[in-house]
Amino acid sequence: MAHRWTNDLTLADATPEAAFMNRRQIMAGMAGMGLATMAGGAQADEGLTPNTWDEVTSYCNFYEFGTGKGDPSANAHLMTTSPWSVEIDGLVDKPGSYSMKDILSAMTLEERIYRFRCVEAWSMVIPWQGFELADLLNMAGVQEGAKYVAFETLLRPSEMPGTAYRVIDWPYREGLRLDEAMHPLTIMATGIFGKPLPNQNGAPLRLVVPWKYGFKSIKSVVKITLTDKEPPTSWNMANAREYGFYSNVNPQVDHPRWSQASEKRIGGGLFAKRQPSLMFNGYEEEVAGMYEGMNLAKHF
C-alpha cells in the first residue's frame, strides 16, 4: 500500500473510505486464511479490527484543548493547521524550517493499522496513514553524536484554551532514543481512515510509536531536535514516579495507581471484558531487541 505523495493528489483520493472498507474486508478474509498482512508484526487478527471513526475522533487526549475526553473534538477546530512548518534542528546536517508541503512531497505515505494503548489502560486499533520518521530524519541528515530525538507541540494559547491551565509545563514535549525514532514501526501520521488527520488527533502531523503508551505519540508537532542528551519530556517532568522516559507498554510493570495487566478496548460496550495487555503492546518481536539487557522495571 506504499503510495507516493504528490501535491495534486489528496490522501482522501488515495484511499477513499469505500476502498478502505474493502481493504478491511480483504484483511478479514486473509485473517481467515491465517495470513499476516502487515509488515512489522501487525497481524490481521480479531484484535486488529479497527475502531470506528467516531470512537477515534471523539474519545481523545489533547490537553491543549482541555482534559476531558470530548474537549479536543469540541475545541480543536480553533487551531490553524495551514500553513504549517516543522523546525528541525540540533545535530542535523540541514537544520531549518521545513514546510508541510516540502515534507509531504518528499515522503512516501503508507497505511499502518496499529494497536494504540493509553497509559490510562484503555486501547483502540487505529488505521493511520503516514511515513516513517526515519525518512524525515534522514532528509535532515542525522549527525554522528546524535543519540536522542526531542519533539514539541505547537503552543498557541489564543487557539488552545486548555493551555490557560498549567496541567503540564507547555509546550507538550516528548522524546525518543535515536534507535527508537529510526525504527521502521515509528511513523509520523498525517491521516486516519484514509482522510487527513482531524485536528483533535494531532493535525497536520503527529508521532505514532505503537509499542509505547499513547502519551509518547505527541500531536501537532512543530519542532524536532536531534540531541546527545535524554531530553526532558512533559509527563516525566510532571510526575517522574508515574511516567518514565521509555514508557514501553509493559503489563508486568504497573502504574503506581493502577494495574497495567489489562485494558479496556474502547467501543467494546459497557459489559465488555477487559483484555490482557501485551508486552510492548504486541510488537515485542520487532522491538524487544532494542532493550536487551535493560531492567525494564527500572527504565520504565
Ligand X SMILES: Nc1nc2c(c(=O)[nH]1)N[C@H]1C(S)=C(S)[C@@H](COP(=O)(O)O)O[C@H]1N2
Binding site for ligand X (CB under 6 A): 60-64, 118, 153, 172, 201-202, 214-215, 217-220
Angstrom distance (rounded) from CA 108 to CA 112: 13
CA-nearest of 108, 113, 115 to 128 is 113
In 3-state terms, what secondary structure has residue 206? strand
Q: How far is the CB of 105 from ligand X (least distance, A)?
A: 25
The mark string for 112-131 relative to Mo ion (x by CB under 5 A, - otherwise) is ------x-------------
Partner whose binding site includes residue 153, from ligand X, Mo ion, none (CB under 5 to 8 Å by kind): ligand X
Q: How far is the CB of 201 from ligand X (least distance, A)?
A: 4
The amino acid present at 271, given as its one-letter code, is F
Q: How far is the CB of 23 from ligand X (least distance, A)?
A: 21
Which residue number, 143 or 275, has a Cβ lying nearer to ligand X? 275
Which residue number, 5 or 65, has a Cβ lying nearer to Mo ion? 65
Partner whose binding site includes residue 247, from Mo ion, ligand X, none (CB under 5 to 8 Å by kind): none
Asked whether the bond before 127 is cis by omega within 30 degrees of 0, the reply is no
Cβ neighbors of 293 (< 8 A, separation 6 or more) are none
Beta bridge partners of 19: none
State the distance between the two ends of the chain, measured CA to CA, in whole angstroms: 34
Q: How far is the CB of 281 from Mo ion (least distance, A)?
A: 12
The count of chain residues that interact with Mo ion, using the rule CB under 5 A, is: 4
- CA torsion sign, 211 to 216 to 217 to 222? negative
Q: Which residues bind Mo ion (CB under 5 A)?
A: 61, 118, 214-215
